[in-house]
Chain A
Amino acid sequence: MKKLKKNYLVITAFVSVLGITACDKLKDTHYDKIITNNFKPSKSDLPALIGAGYTQWRLILLDWNGLWRAQELSGDQIVIPKRPNGWFDDGVYQRIQKHTWTTDDDVVRQTWLRTYKGIANCNRIISDIETGRIEIAEGKEATLAELKVVRASYYAILCDFYGNVPIVTKFDVPLGFLPEQNSRLEVFNFIVKEITDNIPLLSSANDITTYGKFNKWAAYTLLAKMYLNAQVYTGTPRWAECIAACDAVINSGAGYKLESSQKNVFVTENQNSKEIIFALPLDEDYTNNWNAFDFHMQTLQPENQATYNLKMSPWGGMCAIPQFISSFDESDARYQNNWIKGQQYTSTGQMLYVGQGDFKDKPLNFINELPGIDKGESVHGLRLGKFEIKMGSTNVLSNDYPVFRYADILMMKAECLLRTGQPDAAAVIVTEVRQRNFTDPSKAVVTGAQLQQGSSYAYGLKDAVNNQFSTEGGADIQYGRFLDELAWEFNQEGHRRTDMIRFGAFTKKSWLSHAATNNPSRTIFPIPRTEIEKNNNLVQNPGY
């Protein structure tokens, strides 16, 4: 029995020592993460929390295969042809130009993904403010109004791009919630109501406190854009409402005006431009994700690294469609300033030579010729130069991107006047916008009669690679001349697809390697296949 006792002791000791080491508490220390429910924001966190409502804007527009690409590469001004160093990829650039995009193409998907992320961010912040999880001592109503307008701006993108999308305004929905789809008309009405309801609460200041934000005037510009395209979106024109919204900005007294030179809007340090109404602030040190803002990388030839002493060697793909460039008056300052052309030099003035392809060792001289989208040598096509390329730039430009600018307001108003039987009043405004671009004042003048003419763009297939040629011209485009004015003023600004659709040219005309589809369903993009597969409430847009 003594032995037994000893054993009990041993076992007791064993179990006790086990007790010391044993633990059944699961680790929950989150050293480098924030668990939302444990996070109590302080006042100093407010800009960081509310700012999250805005950050998607630049990603939606400018990041790889973003909205900008969809708007420009599907239009008649800019193309990414196959180059000696690649740029064919899997044919995606060809499909954008030819309007044969698939429901899987990245350029079709990205705008949906990025825009809804922005909406979810806004919904979350709005919900947190409304429920008091984010406490705002003063200006709570104004902050909520601003976030609702930011959200409306995201819906405006969706309305233009996909048309029929679900409207979600709540964040506090059951896990697994699948939203219902709304019609383009419902989306349009929602946006207009959100903006008009909240405009009175927005700041009317136009200074550093509202730069890069939606103040009252940016909201009016967004509203004007909705009305301008109301006929496309809803079937019912709203020209008068558009004029009223433009007039609100024109008469705001907030200091918006045309720059003396269009160039000033697009320089590296453009944050003080009086022409900018809503900008996406960019800075190579802060907005420095890869592809944050890299038009210069996508358009310049690798040899041009020496021209601008760039930190990185550019990739050389994107260029102007020759037919568009040919529509310019060569004395137009915008032809001179917006495009990079001719012989290229190093920053110290040495001539540059082609490094690769059929033109190897020939002078690097950008010419306004392009055999077709399937073949572009290093010298083919003028390059995009509207945004100043600072000497010594990295892969990210620091120019702020003007989403809305005063010239936009003026041209929207002019278009509405033109379309409502006031061509001469329209011509006065268009002339005002043109004036800064011509040294010969007579060249700047446009008449009401001219604005009612067709387009001077020499539409037609011009594909030497596949031997496909046609002559269409633009005479049959109603107010085609006004469409040309928009082309000359707003090229490279991500407007083109929307403008071409409004003027009926998008599906009916051919250019370069793009043959007219005459397929009205191409005026909206398909809902990404992957999204339909995840939410069976979504119905694909007609024609896809």
Chain B
Amino acid sequence: MTNLLTKTNQGMKKYTECTPYARRAIRVSFQIIFLLVLSTQLLVAGSLKKQSASETKISQSIVDITVKGKVTDNKGAGLPGVSVKQKGANKSTITDVQGNYVLTVSGENPVLVFSFIGFQSQEIAVENKTVINVVLVENASNLQEVVVIGYGTQKRADVTSAVASVKAKEFVKGPVLDAGQLLQGKVAGLTIGSPSGNPTDGTQILLRGNTTLFGANSSPLVLIDGVPGDLKTVAPEDIEAIDVLKDGSAAAIYGVRGSNGVIIITTKRANGNISNSVDYSGYASTQVISKKLDMLTAQDYRDQIAAGIRNASWDNGSSTDWLKETTRTPLTQVHNLTMRGGNNTTNYLVSANYRALEGIFRKSDNKTFTGKIDVNHNMFDNKLKFNFGLLNQTNNYTKVTGGGSFNGWIYRQSVIRNPTEPIYNSSGGFYEQTGNFDYENPLAYLEEGDGESKNVNSRLNATISYKPVRDLKLSALFSYSRFNGNDGYSETKEHISNIKNGLNGYASVGSRLSIDRLTEWTAEYSKTIKNHRVVALAGYGYQENVTTGMDASNQNFPTDIFGYNNLGLGEGIKNARATLGSYKSETNLISYFGRLNYSYKDKYLLLASLRREGASQLYGANHPYGNFWGLSGGWRITKENFMKNQELFDDIKLRLGYGITGSQPREQFLATQLLKYGEYVYSNGMWTKTIEPDQNQNPFIRWEEKHETNLGLDFSLLKGRISGNADLYNRQINRLLYRFQVPSTPPNVVDFTWANVGKMENKGLELMLNFVPVKSKKLVWNTSFNFSTNKNKLVSLSNQLYKTTSNHFETGWTGPPITTFTHSTTIGGKIGNFYGYKVIDIDNNGKWIYEGRDGQPVSYDNFAHSFEDKKVIGNGLPKWYGGWNNSFSYKNFDLNITMRGAFGYQILNFQRMYMENPAIQNFNTLKSAYTPVFGKAVLNVPALEYNSYYVEDGDFWKVDNITFGYNFNKFKSSYIKGARIYLSSLNTLTITKYKGLDPEVSRLGLDPGIDGRDKYPSTRSFTMGVNLNF
């Protein structure tokens, strides 16, 4: 043992450069695990005896009966892949594609168990029958459904915390941006926004409100088959199910990354139960802008000039619909091919997925090809199992800006451009007005800027699990993920930035490489003794990331022909205008964890977990490690004796949980003071770069910690016709990380310090109700309602170092020419308050009348426009959300309708704030700029400003996804086994009083509810799709 340890330590030194201290710690840590495993062995020894006894009994039996039959659903369709087992023996098979099976059983009084995911299991005694046909009933109550809870699964019935599970067939259909959109409107408390129509953008996920002030990670932890990843790296068609761990007691096993919830994605994997098959699915979609702004047209300009309200110099003689020029009718296509094969010992799944998304703007696209191989191999009577996964994803998209894909600026310019201007000038170049600020020909941007981003995501993962004895499972997971991105972008000499900034051709390239290594080792011991069932899990996890990258730009090229492919040719190096940069960072996360599940008679359920975790971001801090634990219990009331004789309820379960999760800072080295090379100084005849302080130190920096209590109720009655759940939660997030404003006076070198300040509270209620109002042979109607509320409050804001003397702080930014903050968060108050001047009326001259500090009206000229004049004029966070999902199936037709809404909140409409003032002459304005304000007088103030007139109610109800499908299930050909065609639309209809484009705006952070000027407009899409099964 000693030798072995020494050897391992040497190995460690070589690869991970651990210090002797670390070695000691490792020794201690795996000694703990060793002891744990050892102690379980005592129990294992006991069980072994028992097992061998039963084996003996089986071997003594001699009678064999061969049974065959067909398993169908209630419509008579054969069910492939149904597990058929002899109870108490290890004889089993699965049904073929028609639902037929053959199984030879033996022993006394054999009983067959038919089980299939989504259906109620059935037990049938064989007696003397040789043909047993079974109709499986769909399991509406989902109690047998398997729920993924992290490092393992649980039956829905056993779950003691708030976990939502959405299966593939319930997903939103259509050209979804990423896997997140599949869940839109499906889970109470999980708000998924898709505020942008840009095909390279993703969804915004908010679970139970804001949990961070953005000092730490703000997005939920996404696990794809156990490996942390990005929603974009998984093809939506590859997903089998998505589970969402909502409360802290469930997420605590994921410790530090669990604060914003955990989204567990299970992809379709190889499975011995499914015979060889090929599935194809594909769809094509197109989109339209869901709403356009009502801007002045060229004719409106001319009418205004004729009426004398606009100077004739603004008529440039043409008529151009700028938005029409920059947009198109896009075509999106998605194809997915999945092949499965193999047998119980070795099986595989191979899939290829191609997504070619087009946006409504020209040169706005996103193409992704994902190839995936998943192989299982079982050895030694299924004791040793291997799973290998290989994923490779290539992604390309067009860039019309250096910094991203599509440039929102092009949209803004299409909107504000003078409609009387021509696209081209008389000499054939783009017509530009260089004298006007922030005013550039959008078509010049589209056509004179060009680039591409090429990204490759690859992942190798392997899981080895071994069951040395029946109740013990040892697993080791390894994963290596690699993201490699290469960007190139160039602007021709005709590009406006060259005309305006004298670049004379510009090009840039950049590359990024990010490598994640992960290993997780777990030992799971499960044991049932009489009425007691115990599952114990212990594990160790290590994750590291290395990110490197470089960027370079050059300008002043002799020719445009090379684009960004010959960067050295530019003259920018000579005149010091070229830029070069490179970076590297390395982080890791180390964790030890354990979990215990206990149930007594399936009636009393208990789950406890503990995770200890260290993060390199906290290097140099006083407490780099944190402990995160969770405890939850459940009581299945229907299992009590007094409920035995009732038939109304299938299940009632009460749950109570408490859990602590965390979030580490995003940035590294916040505990220490940093220096950087900064400005140049002229010293003794030479220009020298100075060494300047970069950051204030804060050794007190720690984990963010979320303490969450969850009280839940699950119920199902009338054999699943009515079911649902309710959850009440209270989240207290302590030690929130924030870019805390500190005095600019010494010793501070900058006026902010990253510190754990403040405490935030989220309280809310989530309800989910499922009904099956109609369930006949031909017609089935499933309907479900979800409802959630959330109250988000900032309880305090102070830390060891500083206390604010004011009770508020400002966030959000209007952007020029109005330069002020948009929101103020008051300590003890709600998050998301808009804070600005409150307009109560307009005078006869078209000047605002405000509500003054004392509540009395103040005229425009007497209003100081200072901070003290501002008031709370709205709140950007919805008070409640609702959803209503329906699915109908009639014979072979099916119809799904997803609806959702958000209520009780306001939106700051930037479009109106910047474009609804007739004083603006150098940009186009909304027609409504010339409509009398409050029906009294046309606005007549020279200054744009942020006031309550532009803050509107955002309440909306959206009919989002409508899908209408038809299933073909009788084929003459023996090759094709199933087919389905469908039509669907996304973002179909919005009912709202909001005057902007889409009331579904960003709700993240401390400045929710801003409808920005440069936002890629959201779209309405129409899709036609087909699924084929061979």
Taking the complex as formed, is B123 at the interface, i.e. its CB lies under 8 A from any CB of chain A?
no
Q: Contact partner of B747 among A32, A120, A287, CB < 8 A? A: A120
B98 CB → nearest A CB, Å: 42
Provide the B744-758 mask, 1 if CB < 8 A to any CB of A, else 0.
111111110000000
Give chain B nearest CB distance to A82 CB in angstroms. 6
| Of B22-30, B234-242, B449-457, the one touching chain A | B22-30
The stretch of B402-410, B817-825, B873-881, B954-962 in contact with A is B817-825
B25 neighbours in A (Cβ, 8 Å):
24
B864's partner among A4, A88, A100, A532 (CB-CB below 8 A) is A100
Q: How far is the CA of A162 from the CA of B921 in the complex (A)?
A: 38
Interface size range of chain B in the complex = 35 or more
Whether the Cβ atoms of B692 and A52 lie closer than 8 Å is: yes
With both beta carbons as reference points, the residue of chain A lying nearest to B919 in the complex is identified as: A88
B117 contacts A by Cβ under 8 Å: no
Report the minimum CB–CB distance from A466 to chain B (whole Å).
Answer: 9
B428 within 8 A of A: no
Q: Does A49 contact B (CB under 8 A)?
A: yes
Given A52-B678, A287-B680: A90 touches B583 (CB 8 Å cut-off)? no
Chain B residue contacts of A459, Cβ below 8 A: none
Nearest-neighbor residue (CB-CB) of B37 within chain A? A11
Which residues of chain A are within 8 angstroms of B33 by Cβ–Cβ distance? 15, 18
Name the residue among B437, B503, B690 with the largest chain A CB count within 10 angstroms.
B690
Q: How far is the CA of A357 from the CA of B437 in the complex (A)?
A: 13
Known contacts A106-B819, A119-B746, A360-B313, A27 near B587 by CB under 8 Å: yes
Residue from the list A48, A112, A211, A355 in contact with B435, Cβ < 8 A? A355
A374-B11 CB under 8 A given contacts A15-B30, A26-B614, A124-B749 = no
The answer to whether A19 touches B26, judged by C-beta atoms less than 8 angstroms apart, is yes
Contacts known (A4-B41, A20-B8, A394-B502); A10 close to B30, Cβ less than 8 A = no
Q: What chain A residues lie within 8 Å of B588 (beta carbons)?
A: 23, 26-27
In the complex, which of the residues A3, A31, A41, A287 contacts B584, with contact meaning CB atoms closer than 8 Å?
A: A31
| Chain A residue at smallest Cβ distance from B869 | A102
B44: which of A7, A212, A532 is its contact (CB, 8 Å)?
A: A7
Of A3, A90, A316, A357, which one neighbours B48 at CB under 8 angstroms?
A3
Enumerate chain A residues within 8 angstroms of B582, measured Cβ to Cβ: 32
- A24-B22, A47-B688, A179-B746 are contacts. A32–B584 as well, Cβ < 8 Å? yes
A531 touching B743 in the complex, CB below 8 Å, given contacts A15-B33, A89-B817, A301-B435: yes
The reply to whether the CB of B5 lies closer than 8 angstroms to some CB of chain A is yes
Q: Evaluate contact between A51 and B468: CB separation under 8 angstroms.
A: no
* Closest B residue to A10 using CB positions: B468
Is A343 part of the contact surface with B, judged by Cβ < 8 Å? no
Q: Closest residue of chain A to B5, judged by CB?
A: A19
Residue pair B749, A176 in contact (C-beta under 8 Å) = no
Q: How far is the CB of A407 from chain B (nearest CB, A)?
A: 23
From A30, A47, A168, give the contact of B684 (CB < 8 A): A47
A88 with B540: CB separation less than 8 A: no
Query: Measured between alpha carbons, how far is A211 from B685 in the docked complex, in Å?
Result: 8
A137 interface residue per 8 A CB criterion = no
Contacts of B9 in A (CB 8 A): 19
Which residue from B542, B615, B619 sits with its C-beta under 8 Å from A21? B542
Contact A302 B435 (CB under 8 A): yes
Q: Assess whether A23 is in contact with B802, with CB atoms less than 8 Å apart.
A: no
CA distance A4 to B41 in the complex (A): 8
Q: Which residue of B lies closest to A1 (CB)?
A: B45
Distance A103 CA – B870 CA, assembled complex (angstroms) = 13
Tell me whether A116 and B688 are in contact in the complex, defined as CB-CB below 8 angstroms, given that A4-B41, A287-B679, A301-B435 are known contacts: no
Partner of A312, one of B502, B616, B745, B750: B502
Task: Mark interface residues in A340-379 (1 if CB within 8 Å of B CB, else 0).
Answer: 0000000000000001111111000000000000100010
Chain B residue at minimal CB-CB distance from A82: B942
Residue pair A361, B313 in contact (C-beta under 8 Å): yes
CB within 8 Å of A: which of B672-720?
672-694, 697-698
With a cutoff of 8 Å between Cβ atoms, the chain B residues found around residue A121 in the complex are 692-693, 749
Residues of A within 8 A of B944 (CB): 88, 90
Q: How far is the CA of A257 from the CA of B100 in the complex (A)?
A: 108
- Stretch of A234-242, A381-389, A490-498, A533-541 contacting B (4+ beta carbons < 8 Å): A533-541
Residues of B within 8 A of A120 (CB): 693, 745-749
Q: B474 touches which one: A14, A90, A117 (CB < 8 A)?
A: A14
Chain A positions 84 through 105: 1 when the CB is less than 8 Å from some CB of chain B, otherwise 0 = 1110111110110000101110
Selected contact of B499 from candidates A24, A313, A360, CB within 8 Å: A313
CA distance A89 to B694 in the complex (A): 31
Give min CB distance, B404 to chain A, whole Å.
Answer: 20
Whether A103 contacts B749 in the complex (CB less than 8 A), given A27-B586, A175-B697, A356-B436, comes out as no
Residues of A within 8 A of B817 (CB): 86, 88-90
Q: Is the Cβ of A355 less than 8 Å from the Cβ of B692?
A: no
Are B311 and A534 touching (Cβ within 8 A)?
Answer: no
* Known contacts A26-B614, A90-B817; A84/B921 CB under 8 A: yes
Flag if A285 contacts B575 (CB, 8 Å).
yes
Is B76 in contact with chain A by the CB < 8 A criterion? no
Query: In the bound complex, what is the Cα–Cα distance between A201 and B506 (angstroms)?
Result: 51
Residues from chain A with Cβ under 8 Å of B922 in the complex: 84-86, 356
The reply to whether B585 and A32 contact each other, CB–CB distance below 8 Å, is yes
Contact of B624 among A26, A113, A176, A536 (CB under 8 A): A26
A90, A94, A170 interface centre (most CB from chain B within 10 Å) = A90
Asked whether, in the complex, the Cβ of B802 is within 8 Å of the Cβ of A176, the reply is yes
> Cβ of A91 and Cβ of B865 under 8 Å apart?
yes
- Tell me, yes or no, whether A36 is within 8 Å of chain B by CB: yes
A140 at the interface (CB under 8 A from B): no
Q: Which of A23, A27, A48, A287 contacts B26 (CB 8 A)?
A: A23
Cβ of A457 under 8 Å from chain B? no
B37 to chain A, nearest CB (A): 5
Q: Distance (Å) between the CB of A176 and the closest chain B CB?
A: 4
Q: Assess whether A454 is interfacial by the CB under 8 Å rule.
A: no
Q: In the complex, are the beta carbons of B586 and A4 less than 8 A apart?
A: no
List chain A residues, Cβ under 8 A from B29: 22, 24
CB proximity to A under 8 Å, residues B581-628: 582-588, 590, 614-616, 618-620, 624
Q: A39-B675, A49-B691, A85-B436 are in contact. Are A7 and B41 (CB under 8 A)?
A: yes
Interface flags for B61-88 (1: CB within 8 Å of A; 0: not) read: 0000000000000000000000000000
CB B826 to nearest CB in A, in angstroms, measures: 13
From A8, A106, A112, A285, contact of B744 by CB (8 A): A112
Smallest distance from the beta carbon of B674 to chain A beta carbons, Å? Answer: 5
Query: Among the listed A15, A27, A171, which residue makes an inter-chain contact with B544, where contact means beta carbons less than 8 Å apart?
Result: A27
CB of A11 to closest CB in B, whole Å? 5
Residue B306 at the chain A interface, CB threshold 8 Å: no
Stretch at the interface among B12-20, B170-178, B253-261, B340-348: B12-20
The residues of B that contact A178 with a CB separation of less than 8 Å are 743, 745
Within 8 A of B (CB), among A258-307: 281, 283, 285-289, 301-303, 305
Decide if B816 is an interface residue (CB 8 Å cutoff).
yes
Chain A residue with minimal CB distance to B438?
Answer: A86
Instruction: Give, as a whole number of angstroms, the nearest-CB distance from A59 to chain B.
Output: 8
Q: Given known contacts A11-B41, A27-B586, what 18 new A-B pairs fall within 8 Å (CB)?
A: A7-B41, A12-B34, A27-B616, A35-B620, A59-B679, A86-B436, A90-B819, A90-B820, A90-B945, A102-B864, A102-B865, A103-B867, A120-B748, A212-B683, A303-B435, A312-B502, A315-B437, A535-B743
Instruction: Name B residues whose Cβ lies closer than 8 Å to a Cβ of A.
Output: 1, 4-5, 8-9, 11-12, 16-19, 22, 25-27, 29-30, 33-34, 37-38, 41, 44-45, 48, 311, 313, 433-439, 466, 468-469, 474, 476, 499-503, 519, 521, 523, 540, 542, 544, 575-576, 582-588, 590, 614-616, 618-620, 624, 668-669, 672-694, 697-698, 741-751, 800-802, 804-806, 816-820, 864-867, 921-922, 942-945
Listed A/B pairs (9) with beta-carbon separation below 8 Å: A10-B468, A15-B30, A26-B619, A29-B586, A47-B684, A52-B681, A124-B747, A312-B501, A533-B804
Q: Which 10 pairs, one residue from A and one from B, show the smallest C-beta to C-beta distance?
A: A311-B502, A51-B681, A302-B435, A281-B682, A176-B801, A360-B313, A533-B806, A102-B866, A31-B584, A55-B679
